[in-house]
Amino acid sequence: MKTEGLAETLSRVHGESKAAAARGRVATYIPALAKADPGAFGLALVDSTGSVFEAGDARARFTIQSISKVLALAYVMTELGEVAVFSRVGKEPTGDPFNSIIRLETSASRKPFNPLINAGAIVVSGLMPGSSPADKGERFRAFVGRLLGRGGVERDEAVYASEKATAARNRSIAWFLKELGILEGEVEDTLDVYFRQCAVSVDAVDLARVGAVLCMDGMDPVRRERVIAARTARVCKSLMVTCGMYDGSGEFAVDVGVPAKSGVGGGILASVRDRMGIGVYGPALDERGNSAAGLEALRRLSDELDLRVL
């Protein structure tokens, strides 16, 4: 599709999808997230040539939350290798809510099913290199900055503090992982790293840029240079297909058919092989924790642009 047609389609889909936000509600279990405007909605797209398209609130800042799980996985695979991660975490979907603990007790493997649920993500956070939680958090932010072609990214300190103060479920998960012998390091230190990564601040254009890197199997289409290994990008995308949209991943694969990862901050990162990355911001969430307007927009874009890769 020509540039003019792509820009027009994105703008029209944004307008047609915005009303879906009324079907969702902003996250409140992290108090700082409750302050988001439920009507905010932005879309961005970065294609395989590095061209950027945007509509609505695409430059509004928000925290990546669970989208950080994909970036943390890519980071630890880059630093320590694939075996270091998957000797402790599986590769299978669960069908359970992202913060479920029951599978750790009932599964034969006694380890998290995948890196994109909270249990698996906490294990990955515990593997990050560094001398302290603050150092590990800074190194992770520097890695995300490299993916985005800049020196670093900001962290929302208010969201970080709010999440750290209200994380009873994640503490329960982390202590159980420690009891199983899966979690490295001290529980509170590992959780601090996890809270820091979730509070990284981005916009929809940033997510689209990361999606474009993944769509090109680790090549940055803007700078025309490799930023992560092809194998790392492919592992991340495979897990995004099967596990990226919480317990709505199967339905999303059928309806939209592209690798994607959502976060309760309202973001969705999507990647279409060899074609484009898509970034969404819409903090009004459905019952599974996915952006209501974002889901509607991605369904429409998939149909109109024939994006599905499945």
List residues with catalytic annotation: 66, 69, 194, 246, 264
Identify any residues that bridge with 46 across adjacent strands, giving them in sequence order: 52, 277
DSSP annotation of 55: E
Positive or negative: CA dihedral 82, 230, 224, 58: negative
Residue with tokens 């202590």, as numbered in its chain: 175
Cβ contact 88:111 at 8 Å: yes
Taking the CA atoms of the chain, what radius of gyration do you get in angstroms?
A: 18
Residue 258's region, left for phi above 0, alpha for psi from -120 to 50, else beta, is: beta
Q: Which residue has the tokens 């990050």?
A: 128
Q: How many CB atoms sit inside 10 A of residue 29's CB? A: 14
Strands 201-202 vs 62-63: parallel, antiparallel or unpaired:
antiparallel
- Dihedral, CA of residue 263, residue 269, residue 270 and residue 275, to nearest 10: 180
Residue 150 CB coordination number (10 Å): 11
At 120, list the tokens: 């698996």
